[in-house]
Structure 1
Amino acid sequence: MTAAPTKITDGIWWVGVQNPDLRIFDVIMRTEWGTSYNSYLIQGSEKIAVVDAVKQGFSEEQLERISAVVDPKKIDYIICNHTEPDHSGALVKLMDAAPNAVVVCSRPAKTFIKEIINRDFECIVAGDGVTLDLGNKTIEFISAPYLHWPDSIFTYVKEDAFLSSGDVFGVHYSAGQIFDDLTKLDANMIASQKYYFDVIMSPFKSYVLQAVEKIRNLKIDVIGPSHGPVLRQDPWGAVKRYENWSMPTINDPKKIYIGYVTCYGYTAKLAEKLYEGADQDGVEVEIEDVSKIAASEVAAKIHNADAFALGSPTLNRDVLKPVWDVMTSLCSYVVKGKHAAVFGTYAWSGEACKYMSERLTDLGVKVVGEAKAKLNPNEEELAAAYQLGVDLRKTVK
């Protein structure tokens, strides 16, 4: 059965692919509802453009959809809003099918594409103020960096009030329908979009807000994101959700998070003393054993805190796995500049504090100090942990 394109408006077609069976995306994301790799064909009276390729392994399906509308050899432009391989993995096959097409992309994307396809190509560098005349359709480009790579741009078709937005305003959701009004907008969809935002876009909230400002005064009737349904019923609803999720939060009172693991209760004693030192002057302090909680949940709490502390005993000259899992779940874009403390107990070598400090420093965190104890903390070691809590509190007041 030939893969059929879906008409969005006169001269604009969805020519992407659905992947409803995908359950893990980019190693780290759950995709309970699958995803789609959206691509759009824009057919003007004089020129033809395709926005984005698809993931490697899906090129034949994309080319079938394109061929149902036009001969791929007649494509004049291949626009790359974003060059992550789920949108560029099949780019070579699209370029081979459209040998006369010129690639249109941002300057960073040009570099990425060269490293993906490993060959030379003709390119127009796009950004704010750059346009393409397709005859009866005018494409305007909008720079939208770090959504979520430095290469990202928006493609706007003025005459049709159509915005192809790349990954932003999207969701990993494949329900067998192309349009949002044919896909039930329920709790699953909203939860999936929030999860998508949290994992992919939340490190770049300021860039989301900048992009929203750039499009706020545009007439937009349809948004075609790179993943999920085409938004024709309520395109601004997705924009508004993204904007709300991206708004900066100011903690009042200030928040400190203390997470630790403990084998025999010794590290917990340091944690409690650190808590006592931090829990003053109206600062809100949360303390918990991170071995009982998902690392992603702990990371979210750290991301939302003004400062934090992590503690682990040393076992086999290393940090215990639950704390490593937390540290590898932290986003450097979010924790950079935050203050932190590290603490832990040991029997003979005591490397845990050193390794935690090094990891956090590599993420851009400002480590204010450490509290260590050999086995069961004595009064002097407990006092040092208390003072560390005081020092950490002072960084947020």
Structure 2
Amino acid sequence: MSVTSTRTERRTLQIPIDTGVVALRGLSPQRHRFELEYALERGSTANSVLFAAGDDQPAVLVHPPGAAYSAVFLPALAKLLPDASHPLLVVVGHVNPNRVALLRSLAETYSGLELITSNAGAKLLEELWTQRKPSPPGEEQEQPPLPDLPSLRVIRHEQTLAMAHGRSLQLIATPTPRWPGGLLAFEQSLGLLMSDKFFSAHLCTEEWAETNRTSTEEERRHFYDCLMAPMARQVEGVVERLEELDIRTIAPGHGPAIEDSWRSLLSDYRRWGEGQQNASLNVALLFASAYGNTAAIADALAQGVSRTGIRVNSLNCEFTSADELIGTIQQADAVLIGSPTLGGHAPTPIVSALGTLLAEGDRNKPVGVFGSFGWSGEAVDLLETKLRDGGFSFGFEPIRVKFSPDAMKVKELEEIGTRFGRQLLQAQKKAQRRSAGGLSESRSDPAVLALGRVIGSLCVLTTRKGELSGAMVASWVSQASFTPPGITVAVAKDRAVEALLHKGDRFALNVLAEGRETAPMKQFLQPFAPGADRFAGLELQESPGDQPLLPESLAWLEGSVKQRMECGDHWLVYAEVLHGGLFDPAGSTAVHQRRSGANY
């Protein structure tokens, strides 16, 4: 099993891969950012690979980290490249302000620096190189000059770079909406694919490679669901191209390498995207993001919508053709559009996309607007005003987030997306019932009726994880093992609490008492507003692991999640029972009688 770092500070490891090839792994044991992709709270790594100079060939650094790792990465690189006057080629896999900040530091140190980037990456580098985050009004101060943008070598599709020691680096442009400047690198003699964001997992581990697929499957699936699923079509195209390579090892930008099971991982990427591709409804997600904050909002909304089984088509308006934008809007069942506010305005690509939406959008289909801002929020106001005046209906109130969303806001955004998705599904079901004359075939199916006769105990699952908490009524519950004592709970994918039930998370199962189940059922079956506290106004007790307990229950169990299995529209969660107790030794368990297996 991979060794997870127990130290709390960031550091950079040097991991030899082959002669003249060293991996530089930046370790971040703690969660320092609140984007949804880090929600498992297992730390992360930032992986780059350095190919040594020689044979009149310069050193090549593939996928350097962002500025958050500067303090530990730059000294480690300096030990390997002590002569800053020698040429250095840097392959830039994706471009954002954090990455640009570190590239500036490299430019100040290495006089012979040259950046290798895709066509879209070059555009982003030129835009972001001289950008600084705006200072608060009245606090502007003179800042030191920035270094000049280094020479750029642009890879338009694919190109092979000769390196020292007879090695060759195949560079493959892989643009996606989330990372339009994507550029993967494949060293042919080692069969080493440096895949940047693809196949990543936020997991802090010192080991070069994972032990097996199951050891990191949950983290890689979580990363996919958060960032890859909204652009499943483009991701599928990249996977098809990579299958043509003679891969032996995949080294992603985050998490351990994949040596023995990379084919299985590519297969998983295909399988995980099938649900998105086959969905009957789709939501267009249009955005631009200057500093990544608007993209973080988009990710949380997309994850929430995807939980309902609806496909999300993500488009970065800065790199989307007019024809693709028009086609996506016309085919969508709803449109979400988000923008940062830059200098009191929305970026030009968003203004253009807004014009296209006003011209081509269906007024019978709902929209939503969102955005981030620093000191003002005019961009969101513009989107809202134009769309309301244009006759569009809104699926939720406009979302305005100052700077980057925190953990509580991310959870709320995800729940907003889920509620929006449910509304779309309900509208679709109403339309289907009208066209079918009100008959539901599944409800009259004898097998479905028989399935409804399988009964379960009525429980309330409660959980608390830091400042986040959640709860749901659960009746699909069963004892699963004697040694150790274990239980399984089926959790619908669109439940808000599902995000708090990953491996290592704890929860309490409150078994309801017959005759006293009405009050807790009424409390936890009511519709909650996104981000609302499910326990407001309740008197609670706590388990030894600080999980919420309902004193009116018959009994309680505290469990730790050990495994999760995907079962259609539910996750089956297996937990080892750690603690438990009885509130009422003489009472009986409340059970749930159903007439049909088509619903709860």
Give the TM-score taking structure 1 as reference length.
0.64
Please give the per-residue CA displacement for 1:12-66, whole angstroms capped at 9, x wherever unaligned. 2111311111253447741411111111111253221001222214223212322
Aligned match of 2:174:
144
Say which is worse superposed, 115-124 or 199-208, in terms of deviation. Answer: 115-124
Question: 169-178 or 59-68, which moves further after superposition?
Answer: 59-68
1:206 is matched with 233
Q: Aligned to 2:217, what secondary structure does the other structure show?
A: helix
- 2:182 aligned partner, one-letter code: S
Counterparts of 1:179 and 1:250 in 2: how far apart (Å)?
Answer: 31
The equivalent of 1:236 in structure 2 is 263
Aligned ranges for residues 75-94 of structure 1 at < 5 Å? Answer: 75-94=87-106
Deviation at 1:217?
A: 2.2
RMSD: 4.1
Aligned pairs for 1:173-252 (under 5 A) are 173-181=203-211, 185-186=213-214, 189-247=216-274
Using the TM superposition, give the Cα deviation of residue 88 of structure 1 relative to its aligned residue in structure 2, in angstroms.
3.8
Deviations for 1:233-278, whole angstroms, at most 9, x for unmatched residues? 33333222212212366769x689xxxxxxxxxxxxxxxxxxxxxx
Q: 1:250 to 1:63 in 2, by over 3 A?
A: closer
Report the more deviating stretch, 201-210 or 330-339: 330-339
Q: Spell out the pairing of 1:358-373 with structure 2 (5 A cutoff).
A: 358-359=367-368
Partner of 1:101: 113
Residues 1:16 and 2:43 aligned together: no
The structure richer in helix per residue is: 1
- The answer as to 2:59 corresponding to 1:65 is no
User: CA 1:23–1:387 in 2, change beyond 3 Å: closer, same or farther?
Assistant: closer
**1:338 matched to 2:332:** yes
Find the aligned partners of 1:203 and 1:386 in 2 and give their Cα distance: 22
Unaligned runs of 5+ in 2: 1-9, 131-147, 283-299, 317-327, 336-362, 371-382, 395-425, 436-600
Cα gap change, 1:216 to 1:389, in 2 (>3 Å): same
Any conservation in 1 of the 2:25–2:45 contact (CA below 8 Å)? yes
Deviation at 1:116, TM superposition (A): 2.8
The match for 1:7 is 16
Q: Secondary structure at the match of 1:130?
A: strand
Q: Deviations over 1:93-119 (max 9, x none)?
A: 122222202110011111212233314
Rounded to whole Å, the distance in 1 between the matches of 2:62 and 2:80 is 14
Q: CA deviation at 1:126?
A: 1.3
Q: In the superposition, relative to structure 1, how do residues 67 and 198 fare at CA in structure 2: closer, same or farther (>3 Å)? A: same
How far apart, in 2, do the equivalents of 1:108 and 1:29 lie? 26
CA 1:16–1:389 in structure 2 vs 1: closer, same or farther (change >3 Å)?
A: same
Which has the bigger relative contact order, CA under 8 A and spacing at least 6? 1
Contact 2:37 2:223 in 1 (8 A): no
Secondary structure of residue in 2 paired with 1:38: strand
SS at match of 2:64: coil
Q: SS of 1:151's equivalent? A: coil
The match for 1:300 is 306
**Which of 137, 144, 154 lines up with 2:184 in the alignment?**
154
Q: Closer, same or farther in 2 for the Cα pair 1:72/1:163, shift >3 Å?
A: farther
Query: Which residue identity does 2:76 align to in structure 1?
Result: R
User: After superposition, where does 1:27-66 map in structure 2 within 5 Å?
Assistant: 29-45=38-54, 46-66=57-77
What is the letter of the counterpart of residue 332 of structure 2?
A: K
Paired residue for 1:166, among 166, 188, 196? 196
Deviation at 1:77, TM superposition (A): 0.3
Return the offset for 1:222: 1.6
User: Is this contact kept in 1: 2:233–2:277, CA < 8 A?
Assistant: no
Of the three residues 128, 134, 140, the one matched with 2:157 is 128
Instruction: Give the match for residue 310 of structure 1.
Output: none
Q: Is 1:389 the counterpart of 2:430 in the alignment?
A: yes
What CA distance in whole angstroms lies between the structure 1 residues aligned with 2:206 and 2:262?
A: 19
Amino acid at match of 2:150: F
Cα offset, 1:82, TM superposition: 0.9
Contact 2:250 2:259 in 1 (8 A): yes
Name the count of aligned residue pairs: 302
Cα deviation, residue 340, structure 1: 6.0
AA paired with 2:234?
Answer: Y
CA distance in structure 2 between the partners assigned to 1:387 and 1:123 by the alignment: 50
Deviation at 1:161, TM superposition (A): 1.2
Cα deviation 1:54-88 (Å, max 9, x = unaligned)? 22142232123223333262342011011134544
Helix, strand or coil at the partner of 2:236: helix
Give the TM-score taking structure 2 as reference length: 0.44
Instruction: State the Cα distance separating 1:195 from its structure 2 match.
Output: 1.2
Letter in 1 for 2:183: I
> What letter matches 2:46 in structure 1?
Y
Q: How has the CA–CA distance of structure 1 residues 83 and 333 changed in structure 2, closer, same or farther, with 3 Å as cutoff? A: closer
Percent identical across equivalent pairs? 17
Unaligned 5+ runs, structure 1: 257-293, 306-329, 342-353, 371-384
Compared CA separation, residues 206 and 72, structure 1 to 2 (3 A) = farther
Amino acid in the other structure paired with 1:235: W
Q: Which amino acid aligns with 1:90?
A: L
